[in-house]
Amino acid sequence: MNKTVTVNIGGMVFHIEEQAYDQLKKYLEAIRGYFTSSDGRDEIIQDIESRVAEMFTERIGSNRQVVIASDVEHVINTMGRPEQVAGADEENADSNSSSGIGGATSESRGYRRLYRDPDDKVIGGVCSGISHYIGIDPIWLRLIFAIAFFVMGTGFLLYILLLVIVPKAKSTTEKLEMKGQPINIDNIKKTIEEEVEDIKSRISGKGSSKAGSSKIANFFEAIGAIIVAAIKFFVGFIGVIIAIVLIGLLFALFVTLLGMSGVIGDTSIPIFLTHFFLESWQVNTGMFALALAVGIPLIVILYRIARSLFKLKNESKLFNYSTGILWIVGMLLTIWIGINISSQFRNSNTDRIVIPIVQPQSNTIHLAAMDETFSRMQDYDDSNFSWNSDSWGINSDEDSVSFDDVELTVQRAEGNEFELVRITTSRGSSRKNAELNSRQIVYPIQQNDSIIHFSKSYIIPKGVKFRVQKIRLILKVPEGKSVFLGQEMEDVIYNIKNTTNTWDNDMVGHTWTMTSKGLDCLNCNLDESNSLNYNYSTDKDEKVKVRVNGKNIDINSEDDTINWDNKDVKIKIDGDGVVIDAKEKR
C-alpha cells in the first residue's frame, strides 16, 4: 500500500505514487537546473512534460490508475539522464566560445563566491561561508570571532557587518558557487539529494545533521545552542538600537532638508546661499542630490536590519534596484553639481584702479576705520545667521553680505604725492564674468582732509554672487612723508614692511615715516612703554619691579644686577642704582 499524489503534467491529471513523484520531481528539477531562462528553459521543460504525460498515458492504458516508480524509470530511460538532455545542445549554452575541440564541457571550476551558508550555521552562517571561501574549518573562524568579541567588541561589529553585507546562499547554484564546485548537473543533483536526505533525517529525528556524528560537535552544539539564544537576543537588542539611531538620523536629515529648503523653520541658510553664493536651482538640486546620496544608504541599512529582525525572507529586487539606481543618481547629481559650482570659480580676474585722493596739507596722512562698518558688525552679531561670527569674516543680512577680505599695505611712492591703488580680484565662470563679479562689489573709501577712512570689509549686494572677491589696497607714501595708522586699522593692514620689523598689530597707533630704507617709526618708544609692568625674577626668588608709566619710572629692586637689553632702551639695575640708556633715534 502506497500513498499517491495527484499531479498535473502537461495539462493532464495523474495519480502518482509518492516515491515515484519524488523521483520525477528531482529529475525535472535537475534538467531545469541546467538551463537558464534565456535558453528557452520553460518551453523545453513544458515540451518534456508533455511527452512525459504522453508516455504515462501509453503505459497506464486502461487497466491501471496509478503511475508507479517503474513508469518514471522508463520515462527517464527514454528521455535520457539530465546531463544527456542538456549535453546534446551544449553549443547552445556557450555558443560564443570557440569550437568545442579539446575540453568539451565548460566548467567554472575553482570559482568561488562568498555567501553565508544556511545549512551549517551557528548564528548567520557567516563563519562557515568564509570557511568555504578560504578553505579552512569553520570552527577556527568561530573561535577567532568569539575571541575578537571580547576585544572591544570588534568581532561582534565585524560579524554584524558581514551578516548584513554577505548574501545568504539560497539556490543550489549559489551553494555550489559558495563551495567552489563547478555548476553542472551532477553537482546540482547531488546537492538537491543531500538536502532531501537532510530534511528527511531531521523529520524522522534519527540523528541530527551531518555535523552531528562526532561527540565534540555535539558538545559544541549544546553550548552553541545556549550561546546562540543569548546572542540572538543580544543581536536583536543591538539591531533595535541601531535601527532607532538610524531612524533618528533619517528624521534629522529630513528635517534639515526641509529646513534648508525653506518648508519649515528659519529660512536663513537657503536664502543666504541663493542670494550670495549659488543659483537657486543649484541649491535645490544640490540638496536633493545630497538627500539621495546620504539618505538612501541609511534607508537600505535600516531595511536590512528590519529584514533580519523580522526574518523576512523575500528580498525585494525592485527595492534593491530602485535604491541602487536612486543612490547612483544621487551621487552623480552631487558630483555634477559640484563640478557645476566649481566651474563658477574657474577663471580669475584682477582689476587695478588708482583711487583719486586729495593731497593732505600736512606731511602726514591718517588712516582710520570707517565707523559704520564697525557699528554694523556689532549690530549683526546677534542676528539669526550662524555664519555671523567674526572668525568667518562674513557678516550678512538679507540684502547684502560683507566679507573681511580687505588688505592694506604701504609702499614707497615713486613721485612726491600720496597715491592709493585698489586691486580687486575675483573668480568667475569666465574672465568676463570674473570681471563683472569684481566690479559689482561695494567698497567705500572716504576722505576728510588728511584722514582717509577705510572700511574693514567689502559688501556684496543681493544678486551678486560671492566669487572669492579680494580687495588689496596699496597706499603709496613719498619719501619724507608719514602715515599714521589708526588703532582700528589693525584688521585692515596686512604685512606692512618696515625697518623695525614690527608686527602689524604693533604698528597701529603710531606714525610711520617713509625713509630711504623703508617705513620707520617716530614715536614708537614713548607710546610702547605706556603703563607696562615688567617683573623680573632672580634665582633667589627676589622680585624686582619696574614700573614704566609715561614719563615716570618706578623701580623696586634688591641687590642683584639686572640687565634688560633692547634695541632702543637699556636698563641696568644693580646695587649702585638704576641706569637707563635710551638710544637717540635721530
Residues that bind another protein (CB under 8 A): 10-12, 31, 35, 39-40, 43-44, 47-48, 50-51, 53-54, 56-58, 77-82, 84-92, 100-101, 104
Rounded CA separation 586/584 (Å): 6
Q: How far is the CB of 105 from another protein (least distance, A)?
A: 9
DSSP calls for 381-421: TTSS-TT--GGGTEEE-SSEEEE--EEEEEEE-SSSS-EEE
- Contacts (Cβ under 8 Å, ≥6 apart) of 18: 2, 3, 4, 5
Can you name the residues that pair with 574 across neighbouring β-strands? 577
Locate 56 and state its grid cell.
504515462
Cα 219 to Cα 118, 121, 214, 512: the distances in Å are 20, 15, 9, 91
Q: How far is the CB of 47 from another protein (least distance, A)?
A: 4
DSSP 124: S
Q: How far is the CB of 29 from another protein (least distance, A)?
A: 14
Cβ distance to another protein smaller for residue 41 or 307: 41
The angle, 0 to 180 degrees and rounded to 10, between the axes of the packed helices 18-34 and 69-79 is 20
Q: How far is the CB of 99 from another protein (least distance, A)?
A: 9
Rounded CA separation 176/343 (Å): 51
Cβ distance to another protein smaller for residue 81 or 113: 81
Rounded CA separation 68/163 (Å): 45
Cβ distance to another protein smaller for residue 104 or 151: 104
Task: Please work out, in degrees rounded to the nearest 5, the angle formed at the alpha carbon of residue 555 by the alpha carbons of 551 and 560.
Answer: 145
Q: How far is the CB of 219 from another protein (least distance, A)?
A: 45
Cβ distance to another protein smaller for residue 50 or 529: 50
Q: How far is the CB of 60 from another protein (least distance, A)?
A: 10
Cβ distance to another protein smaller for residue 76 or 468: 76
Place of cell 574657474: 346
| Per-position b or e across 540-551, b if 16+ CB within 10 A of its CB | eeeebebebeee
Locate 9 and state its grid cell.
503534467
Q: How far is the CB of 181 from another protein (least distance, A)?
A: 18
How many C-beta atoms lie closer than 10 Å to residue 26's C-beta? 16
Rounded CA separation 503/494 (Å): 9
Cβ distance to another protein smaller for residue 40 or 444: 40
Rounded CA separation 459/397 (Å): 11
Cβ distance to another protein smaller for residue 77 or 391: 77
Cβ distance to another protein smaller for residue 26 or 472: 26
Return the SS3 of 454: strand
Could you list the beta-strand ranges (E) of 260-314. Answer: none
Can you name the residues that pair with 545 across neighbouring β-strands? 535, 556
Cβ distance to another protein smaller for residue 54 or 528: 54
Task: Please work out, in degrees rounded to the nearest 5, the angle formed at the alpha carbon of residue 312 by the alpha carbons of 307 and 314.
Answer: 110
**N residues, the chain:** 586
How many C-beta atoms lie closer than 10 Å to residue 175's C-beta? 24
Q: How far is the CB of 92 from another protein (least distance, A)?
A: 5
Place of cell 492504458: 61
Are 103 and 52 a contacting pair, CB within 8 Å? no
Q: How far is the CB of 33 from another protein (least distance, A)?
A: 13
Cβ distance to another protein smaller for residue 101 or 134: 101
Q: How far is the CB of 9 from another protein (least distance, A)?
A: 8
Cβ distance to another protein smaller for residue 61 or 205: 61
Cβ distance to another protein smaller for residue 9 or 441: 9
Q: How far is the CB of 239 from another protein (least distance, A)?
A: 47
Cα 143 to Cα 146, 155, 229, 406: the distances in Å are 5, 10, 18, 65
Q: How far is the CB of 175 from another protein (least distance, A)?
A: 25
- Contacts (Cβ under 8 Å, ≥6 apart) of 440: 460, 461, 464
Rounded CA separation 184/182 (Å): 6
Cβ distance to another protein smaller for residue 81 or 422: 81
Q: How far is the CB of 57 from another protein (least distance, A)?
A: 4
